[in-house]
Chains A and B, each alone.
Chain A
């Protein structure tokens, strides 16, 4: 079992959640992810964090021992706000 890297987690989050931007730090077991995604809008925190956890399924708690999450909703760009 290859240990996970922050880069791997970042790429998988960004691939799994449309238009998301993730910053991930970690030591191979404990990770901290700050994720910004338009998909979080209108969801409560539980639902927002679930979107991130769902990217990794059963790996959370196992291969990815711990994953701290902070979710952000990006402010719409002037073009999107129109």
Chain B
């Protein structure tokens, strides 16, 4: 993870991770996941009322390439909380089943409600399209 002289894509991804308390990099978007693992992860987050930003990695292969270089994690989806990689579908599922996910996301089980996914602020000019439906 050395400092490249100019890597706008990597910078944009790192910024998105830093600026969004909960951000999911996925295939497709929360309304139309393009992969079963992404769909399952979105469904879990939505079922517990988590608010999260989402980035579709499919439009540009460099997104996945740079994301995996930053996170040292080969697969999609990837969930970051507070700038840290929490995991992909397997880990999120395990944490959901054990109840840890509530704590990680700063939620109480009682908060769980069928709330629609809401994204935090994105950056309009960034090369990443971040779902923003606040």
Contact = CB atoms under 8 A, between A and B. Distances in A.
Interface of A: 45-46, 49-50, 53, 58, 60-61, 66-70
A19 B86 CA distance: 26
Contact of A46 (B68, B74, B76, B87): B87
B47 interface: no
Interface of B: 37, 64, 68, 72-76, 85-91, 94-95
Contacts of B95: 45
| B64, B85, B87, B90 — most chain A CB neighbours (10 Å) | B90
A53 B73 contact: yes
28 contacts: A45-B87, A45-B91, A45-B95, A46-B73, A46-B85, A46-B86, A46-B87, A46-B91, A49-B87, A49-B90, A49-B91, A50-B72, A50-B73, A53-B74, A53-B75, A58-B74, A60-B74, A60-B75, A61-B64, A61-B68, A61-B74, A61-B75, A61-B76, A66-B37, A66-B75, A67-B75, A68-B89, A70-B90
Given A53-B73, A53-B74, A60-B75, A68 B90 contact: yes
Contacts of B89: 68
A82 B1 CA distance: 42
B37 A69 contact: no
Contacts of A70: 90, 94
B126 to A, nearest CB: 24
